[in-house]
Amino acid sequence: MNLSYGAGARAMSLGRAYVAAAIDPTAVFWNPAGLELIPRTSFTLFHNQIFEGTIYDFGGFVYPTLTYGTVGLGFARLGTGDIPVTSRDNVRLGQMNYEEDELYLSYAKKLPFDLYGGFTFKIRRQLFSFINQGATGLGLDLGLMYRPHWEGSLLRNLAFGFSYRNLISPGLKLGSETDNEPYHLTFGLIKSLIVGQGTKFNILLDYHKSRFESATIHAGTEYVFRDLGSLRVGFDNSQLAFGAGIKYSFLQIDYSFGSSIGNGEFPPTHRFSLTFNLGKSRQELILIAEKKRKQREKELVERTKEAERQSFIAKHLKQGKDYLNEQRYFDAYVEFQQVVSVDPFNKEANALMENTNELIEKDLAQKQQEEIAKAVNKELEKENQTYMKLHFDKGTLFLQKNQFTDALVEFNLALERAPGSPVIKEAIATTERRLEAQVRVLVSKGRKQFQEGNYSEALQTLSEALVLAPEDPKLKDEIKTLANRIKIQQYVEQALQLYDLGNYQQALSLFEEAFKMDPSNKRLKDYIERTKRGMGVVEQEMDQESERRYIRGVDLFLAGRYQEALNIWKDLEQKYPYSKKLQEAIRSAEDRLKKTK
């Protein structure tokens, strides 16, 4: 026996048919590609006391990263001691110890098309204590796993593995000769049969070929009950092996009983493995990382909003002070009020707003007294001034709430009773300026929503702008365009649902209604053509070459390459527009592409 026999009680109990099932730390030996399928940090300890004091031990550690693949580390040791050494004359010369060990450094990564690849760089060492000689060699193993997501009952849960051990052989030189380890090629598969909730049968089969050995077959089967316990039996090149496993929390214990020498010359032995699965799984860590990313984005948005808020406060505070210096009291009041609206506890803005309001009130009171003094009918003028003040205050309140239209109505009512008031005229000019700015903001927001395809939200936003600017012809045109888009979208969604249900006539009517509203829409034209085909589909027999291409599309579809399959079927559709199976295949591919986006 040597280290090429393998490691792990589970693998041993399955007859070493493990190249497609190595999803634990022993994968550093069996198939490094399997490391990428290990969900969390794990390490395994394996012990096998073979015969006459010969001990075989293995330890493996795996660390999966979130985005950079999986790394593995392993160490195997085979040792025996107290071996008698005699001369040619059968004279006892002493005793010696023999050790053979191997260090594994592995890496695995997911590849396209449900493939997983990996390699193991290894350092091998032999040591003979009696002659005090040892040798060290470097080697390289490669591995692949293919785990497709097939749908059919026969192919579902079927996976394949391939291992090329000693692609670079670790040459061990003792004296003048170099001993090169032979290559080992192994092809394997595993098929899982689900027989209940959390319960399954695994069937495993390996074909193994080595440079100096004839081909061998390894097979095993495993009954797994709810991922808690398992029973196993295997045939290791005609040698029977069996075992069991139990899993509790983070610990998995595996046991195997069988011969550790392929030809069965030595009695079977007991093999044990302990596997510790630690920490959170890769999927859990991805979810945590995603949560942290969203939290960081949220904090960034909040910081950005706070920076924008501070910029807004500084801008309007400065503008208000400038207006105050120019004795444009109402404009100053509005600027300070905007600061208070986003920062209610801003002492400076509150003080300036109160001071500005006093100046406005003082100015209005002075104008009122002047108008009353000049008036012939002083009582009537007092009523006019009271009326003016009432509507001016209402207008100011509406302006604070950004209800610009209502504010303008009130200010104009106030102006009717005090047509020469500069304060009221200033209030009207300020409100109109604020209204125009708000319209620009809403139009910009609505156009952005339109470009992003959020037609309903865009229509609502632009409608709000139209309320503020009802006579704007551009706004009216934009809203009309959006309303048409929304109606077309509703028609298309309803038509597609009817099409999927096979109600081609109703679907065609809706597609045609939508096309009338947008005659240049190529997508709608394609929908109409396809629906007409659907109404008249028949079984069209394809020629031999077309049938071959159709089957090629089926193979691509089963492999998950939906776009490539769709391209082939779309091309065939030009020749066979009324083929029922072709139309069904196209719909299936398009449905899959929608789900994968």
Please choose, from the candidates 500, 501, 579, 498, the residue with its C-alpha nearest in 3D space to the C-alpha of residue 512.
498
- pLDDT for 130 equals 58
Closest CA to 243 of 416, 18, 520: 18
In 3-state terms, what secondary structure has residue 269?
A: strand
- Residue 387, SS3? helix
- 202: Cβ–Cβ under 8 A, 6 or more apart, which residues? 21, 190, 191, 192, 193, 221, 222, 224
What the block records as the tokens of 309 is 């808020």
Report DSSP state, residue 538: B
**Selecting from 3.40.50.970, 2.40.160.60, 3.40.50.720, 2.60.120.200, what CATH number does the domain 3-279 have?**
2.40.160.60
Tell me phi and psi for residue 377, to 5 degrees.
Answer: -95, 90
Confirm if 135 and 173 have CB atoms less than 8 A apart. Answer: yes
Cβ–Cβ under 8 Å, residues 5 and 26? no
3-state secondary structure of 235: strand
Sign of CA dihedral 550, 552, 557, 561: negative
Q: What is the pLDDT of residue 540?
A: 61
The closest alpha carbon to 551, from 559, 537, 155, belongs to 559
- 3-state secondary structure at position 156: coil
Q: What is the pLDDT of residue 275?
A: 96
Q: Which residues, including other chains, have CB under 8 Å from residue 135's CB and lie 6 or more apart?
A: 125, 126, 172, 173, 174, 179
Give the pLDDT confidence score for residue 536 in this predicted structure: 56
- How many of the other CB atoms lie within 10 Å of CB of 362? 11
pLDDT at 131: 63
Q: How far apart are alpha carbons 446 and 478 in whole angstroms?
A: 10
DSSP character string of 296-322: HHHHHHHHHHHHHHHHHHHHHHHHHHH
> How far is Cα of residue 372 from the mean position of the Cα atoms in its chain?
75
**pLDDT attached to residue 162:** 97
Helix/strand/coil for 47: strand
Question: pLDDT tens, 250-275?
Answer: 999 999 998 866 555 678 889 999 99
- Locate the domains of the chain by residue range: 3-279, 287-432, 537-597
Return d(Cα 447, Cα 478) in angstroms, integer.
9
| Amino acid letter, 160 | F
CB–CB of 569/537 below 8 Å?
A: no
Tens-digit pLDDT string for the chain (597 aa): 578 888 999 999 999 999 999 999 999 999 999 999 999 999 999 999 887 778 899 999 999 998 899 999 999 999 887 766 666 777 666 676 788 999 999 999 999 889 999 999 999 998 876 566 778 899 999 999 999 988 777 888 899 999 999 999 988 877 677 778 889 999 999 999 988 777 899 999 999 999 888 899 999 999 999 889 999 999 988 889 999 999 998 999 999 998 866 555 678 889 999 999 999 988 888 889 889 989 999 999 999 999 999 999 999 999 999 998 998 888 898 889 889 988 999 999 999 989 998 988 888 888 878 877 887 788 888 888 889 889 989 998 998 888 888 888 998 998 888 888 888 888 899 988 888 888 888 888 888 887 787 877 887 888 888 788 777 777 777 777 777 777 888 888 888 888 777 787 888 888 888 888 888 888 888 888 777 766 655 456 788 888 888 888 888 888 788 888 989 988 888 887 767 788 788 888 888 887 776
H helix runs in 326-403, sequence order? 329-342, 347-374, 378-400
Q: Which pLDDT score, from 0 to 100, does residue 478 have? A: 75
Strand boundaries in 39-128, DSSP class E: 41-49, 55-64, 70-86, 92-110, 115-128
With contact defined as beta carbons under 8 Å apart, do 347 and 353 qualify?
Answer: no
pLDDT digits (tens, 9 = 90+) for 31-81: 999 999 999 999 999 999 887 778 899 999 999 998 899 999 999 999 887
The dihedral built from the CA positions of residue 585, 588, 593 and 596, taken in this order, carries a sign that is negative
Distance CA 186, CA 194 (A): 26
The alpha carbon of 403 is separated from its chain's Cα centroid by a whole number of angstroms, namely 44
Instruction: Kindly write down the DSSP assignment for every residue of 499-532, as one continuous string.
Output: HHTT-HHHHHHHHHHHHHH-TT-HHHHHHHHHHH
221 and 204 Cβ atoms separated by less than 8 Å: yes
Cβ(360)–Cβ(327) below 8 Å:
no
- Among 325, 323, 427, 421, residue whose Cα is nearest residue 366: 421
Distance CA 498, CA 597 (A): 23
Which class for 291: exposed (0-12), middle (13-18), buried (19 or more C-beta within 10 A)?
A: exposed
Say how many C-beta atoms besides its own lie within 10 A of residue 226's C-beta.
Answer: 11
Continuous H helices in 111-232: none
Q: What is the pTM of this model?
A: 0.60
* Rounded-to-integer distance, Cα 425 and Cα 434, Å: 14
Tokens matching residue 449:
């929503």
The Cα 257–Cα 454 span in angstroms is 65
453: left (phi over 0), alpha (psi -120 to 50) or beta: left
State the DSSP code for 147: -
The answer to whether 215 and 208 have CB atoms below 8 angstroms apart is yes
**CA–CA distance, 222 with 10 (Å, rounded to integer):** 10
DSSP string, 550-563: HHHHHHHHHTT-HH
DSSP 3-state assignment of 191?
A: strand
- Coarse DSSP helix, strand, coil percentages of the chain, rounded to the nearest 5 percent: 50, 30, 20
Residue-level pLDDT at 1 = 56
Find, among 101, 141, 97, the residue nearest to 119 by Cα. 141
